[in-house]
Structure 1
Amino acid sequence: MGIQDNQPPPSRSGETRSSEAILSSLIEQVESFHQRFRQELSGDIERLQKDKNRLIENIEQLQNQYENLQNQHQQAVSERQFAQQQVWLKQLAQVLASNLQRELVARINRLRSSSEEPLLTTDPSGLQLPSSLQSDLSATELEAVLDTSLNDTFRELQQELSSYQSDLSQRLSHMQSLEQQVEMLLETVVSRLKDQIDRTAIPNGENTPSGTSQPVVEPVRPQPTAMEGSKKPTPSSRGGSPVQLGLFLALMSAVALSLFNVCLKILLQGPQPRQVFGLFEIEGIISPGIGNSLLILLLRMIVVMALMPVVATFLYPAVWSDMKRFIQSRDTPLILTVIGSGFFLFLSQVCIYIAIGEIPTGIAITIFFIYPIVTVLASWGLFGDRPTLIRVIAMVVILGGGILCLPNFFGGAAGNTQVGIIAAISAGVAFAGYVLLTQIAAGKLHPIPFSLVNFASIFVFCCVSLMILPDNLGMDVDLGVWQGLIIGGVVLGVLTLCSYLLNNFAIRSAGAALASIIGTSGPALTALFAFFIIGEALTLKQIGGMALVILGVGAMSVERLMASNKKADSSKK
């Protein structure tokens, strides 16, 4: 819906307790927890350091064993080659002897028929040779026989050497792969050790989601809240220039959300065509209703889910590692809490879409801002956070302003006024439920992955709702308007992400409390843009009621800022 960004958060638990004894006890508990956490973390770091040293020693031992194996292998190869050479020489002598014997026998058989002289004589070497063969056997023939035998022997030797070389190459490749695995294991251990040390060196991340789909909500338990890599910004801890930049970015985020609401109003059909800037008329693309509101929300979420991973990685590079830990943690209560907050945010958006379609845009947003009343009362009942006098007065002011903003139930306003008012109130109540669940999950998941899970939950709830919705409440869209409807969904999605980015940078520069104070200008900016863009005018009574609502919500944000600064000063002392 886009109107829930930059809204004043509910106050944290424990701020109303003024007893010094309780405060001292709380501080001692936090310090003891901090000491235990540091001791446990130091023990983990020492254990990881020991593991690292042990792995380094193991690698050195593996390297020494590898060198010893190489030396032993070379020595074994040398001995094997020497023994093999002796065997080859014996085989060569046997082959030569057999070849010579075959050749001599052939010569003897040829000489039998031509001569009757003794066929065999005794050679000094002990070999029986024909006497005629001793004169006829030439050196050339003997050389040819020897060449043939040597060639055969060398071929056999080459085959055996090739087999030995292949076996040696396989063994070396196996040893290299083992070495690479050990190196990768060592790098992994060192990287984890470095990450653990880095996490101990930086403060915790922002404990509560913020941006397009989240208000800035303080956790119930008192603990430090800060954006990643920086302390919680306050006017006393930052210079004037960053604070001014943060306030400007917060204002631009509120402007983007106001334009979002007006663009949504232009998409929805009304009893009469709307004049844009007084120049041309637009009849609207789709009629207001539950099914059509779900369709618009689905188109918007398609754009958001396509671009949000890039935006999340840019804002918080560790978003995917956090998401992996969140999924693998199997923390069922946390998972149900995060998904439940997404469900209440989904209901809030559907209801505010219906409200914007039925009553003036600024009035719908103003009525929606009753959610701080529900949040404060529910926090009192659930967490024991008793409201202060300032909050009680602010709630009375917000309630009075909301009543003054109500359009006439029985005529005088375009559209189904009763449905619009009920839908706006329902949107505020559902958003209060989202805020309370966000409070419960605060500190357990960084706001960027929290936002990503919320967006994904809304996308899934939209798809499921459109599939199970009855026909009488389903979509009612003409075929000829799909192109304009898709373009409108893209515009709404882009405005959503623009507001998300601007609000995130505003919190980093000026702090969550100051950014939420600027966010209270949402109803006034929405009414202002609706008046100038589509000529949607309000009565003086409605303008006065809107001013009271803004004043009440702003008072809550200022009180939260003052309480935060007071606690920061007391902790420094």
Structure 2
Amino acid sequence: MVGILLVLVAALLLAIQNVALKIIVSPGEFLGLFPLGGWVRPTVDHALLLLQMRMLLTVPLMVVLTPRLYDHAGQELGWFWNREALQTRPSHRHYALKVIGACTCIFLALVLLYVAISSLTTGVAVTIFFIHPAITVLLAWAILGERIQLGQLGWIGLVLIGLVLTSPSIASGALQQNWLGVGAAIAAGFAYAGYSLLTQLSLQRQPNQSVLHPVTFSLLQFITMLVLATLGLRLITIDIAPGMWAQIWSLTLVSAIAAMVAYIFNNIGIQRIGATKASLISSTTPILTALLAALLIREVLSLRQIFGIVLVTCGIAALSLRFRKSAQPD
């Protein structure tokens, strides 16, 4: 019961993180009581800034936690960045490219997801992004040659139907107005699917090839995102009123802590109840996000979109169950 509760709290914390981001970029009424948010314009530039701010808070937390979670992380990082091995051993170089590719994909996925949340209602953006397990199955078939079962195709079809229902209506003209957000959410799903596949390849033990521990891999992932976001900010212009920084940092801190605690709770939950059950519970994140956004910032969804969110959640839960049972039984 404790494991189920931990994973459910992790999903709820991720939903809180999504709503916190929406508040930063979109003004609204908090609990219907007072105005809150809208401190930055919803642009790609500011999405990059918000990711960098979050990483500036997350990386120090990970640096402090990593030695407590895994003693040999420092040694593994030294091995990974060994210049001689990178220059003289093709297998090590290819492995490093997989890891850096995974880190780059999660960076792109988060930037694009931030853009989507900025442009769409929060629940819709997160639901469209959550098609990534379906994309992962298709990419694994196309790239790795993994067989797709007939049942998986049926659930993928259900996810696609839910995606169409959740997206802004073409007839009303809303899709033309929100094409950037929809496109960003779909692209974020593809980027995250790439991240999932490359992470699987990076953590899978191979003959005559050492691999990083998941904790070391996570630390490297956060550091890479911080570096990429910082480099990206050198190419853009940020336009934020000086008096808004305190509010932005406050909610960014909430977002960073929520994400970090969710990461820890989810991993502990997986150890207690297994990956299959944890994956099923985690698939409720789109529904939890939509409910929290409706409660906290009064976002409104049509009945069609609510039905679409439910279909996507059910389809993703089923896909996750089938994948986990075949790949890593409890």
Q: 1:342 aligns with which of 87, 90, 103?
A: 103
* CA distance in 1: counterparts of 2:20 and 2:56, whole angstroms: 17
Q: Write out per-residue CA displacement over residues 89-140 of structure 1, whole angstroms, 9 at most, x where no aligned residue.
A: xxxxxxxxxxxxxxxxxxxxxxxxxxxxxxxxxxxxxxxxxxxxxxxxxxxx
| 2:134 match | 373
2:44 is aligned with 1:281: no
| 1:456 match | 223
**How many Å apart are 1:403 and its aligned residue?**
0.5
SS at 1:311's partner residue? helix
1:254–1:521 CA contact under 8 A, matched in 2: yes
SS at 2:234's partner residue? helix
* CA distance in 2: counterparts of 1:412 and 1:536, whole angstroms: 19
Q: 1:402 aligns with which of 136, 160, 163?
A: 163
2:245 is aligned with 1:245: no
Point out which structure has higher relative CO (alpha carbons under 8 A, 6+ apart): 2
**How many Å apart are 1:442 and its aligned residue?**
2.0
2:109–2:189 CA contact under 8 A, matched in 1: yes
2:236 is aligned with 1:482: no
Q: 2:20 aligns with which of 263, 269, 273?
A: 263
Q: Write out per-residue CA displacement over residues 532-553 of structure 1, whole angstroms, 9 at most, x where no aligned residue.
A: 1011121111111111111111
2:212 is aligned with 1:445: yes
Q: Write out per-residue CA displacement over residues 299-348 of structure 1, whole angstroms, 9 at most, x where no aligned residue.
A: 00000011111222222233223222322353211111111111111111
Paired residues in the alignment total 317
1:359–1:416 CA contact under 8 A, matched in 2: no
* CA distance in 2: counterparts of 1:437 and 1:376, whole angstroms: 13
Amino acid at match of 2:116: A
* CA distance in 2: counterparts of 1:265 and 1:363, whole angstroms: 12
**How many Å apart are 1:434 and its aligned residue?**
1.0
Q: Write out per-residue CA displacement over residues 245-287 of structure 1, whole angstroms, 9 at most, x where no aligned residue.
A: 2111110100000000001000003xxx411111111241111
SS at 2:81's partner residue? helix
| 1:318 match | 72
SS at 1:275's partner residue? strand
2:256 is aligned with 1:493: yes
* CA distance in 2: counterparts of 1:300 and 1:341, whole angstroms: 19
2:184 is aligned with 1:427: no
Structure 1: stretches of 5+ with no match in the other structure: 1-243, 569-573
2:276–2:325 CA contact under 8 A, matched in 1: no
Runs of 4+ in 1 over 4 A off after TM superposition: 409-416
Structure 2: stretches of 5+ with no match in the other structure: 87-91, 205-210
TM-score (norm 2): 0.91
Amino acid at match of 1:493: A
SS at 1:503's partner residue? helix
Amino acid at match of 1:390: G
1:359–1:413 CA contact under 8 A, matched in 2: no
**How many Å apart are 1:416 and its aligned residue?**
4.4
Matches within 5 A, 1:167-186: none
**How many Å apart are 1:563 and its aligned residue?**
2.9
Identify the range of structure 1 (283-292 vs 410-419) with the bigger mean alpha-carbon deviation. 410-419
* CA distance in 2: counterparts of 1:403 and 1:286, whole angstroms: 30
Amino acid at match of 2:44: I
